[in-house]
Amino acid sequence: MHLFLSVFIKFFFLLTPFFVLSMFLALTKGMGARERRLTAVRVTLAVAVVTLVLFHFGNAIFDVFGITVDSFRIGAGALLFLSAVSLVRGRPGADAGEGEGDISVVPLAIPIAVGPATTGALLVMGASMPAQDKLVGSGALMAAVVCMGIVLVLSAHVRRLLGSMGIEILTKLTGLILSALAAQIVFTGVRNFLELGG
């Protein structure tokens, strides 16, 4: 249970649900309530598929490219920190939705919900998690994705409840938590490098 909660909390903040919510509201402004709900469901399904693939095939990807988990930890941690700074300072990618067509997969699922930093963190967590814990990790990941999906489906109610200022505050709080998670990922990678070097 402790593992489930720990992984769930990490993944929930990695998916930056309140930033995704603010972008979702901006990009679906002209849609009706039913169309917005359908878009939210499609975003959730796309994020679920992408995150599960990244989580489970991290080791295979590292083997193909000859990358160690610790080197990827340092790179992903640095990228995650930059994303966290962007969240704290403002709204990155506000123009990511320019263009025509279905916005549920691109840009809402990728790269807004699952950007480069989240991709790196998912690969690292999946590759470093023992095989016997992968099922629990997958369950926690899907629970986090479902929670993000619920936030999107109820976006109109959440906006009325929190207001623009409330969503902005939660987005910045998410950025602060992500910066701490990024520091931990980098610290683990550097420590393991030093231990191997010693």
Task: Tell me if 5 sits within 8 A of 143, measured CB to CB.
Answer: no
The total of structural domains in the chain comes to 1
Q: Per-residue pLDDT for 182 more than 60?
A: yes
- Domain coverage including residue 98: 2-197
pLDDT at 101: 60
pLDDT at 53: 94
Q: Quick one: average pLDDT of 86-104?
A: 62
Average the pLDDT over each of 34-38, 94-98, 149-153 and give the range with the smallest value: 94-98
- pLDDT per position as a tens digit, 27-46: 888 889 999 999 999 999 99
Residue type, 64: V
Q: pTM, whole model, 2 decimals?
A: 0.78
Q: Per-residue pLDDT for 97 more than 70?
A: no
Comparing C-alpha atoms, which of 95, 119, 89, 118 is closest to residue 107?
Answer: 95
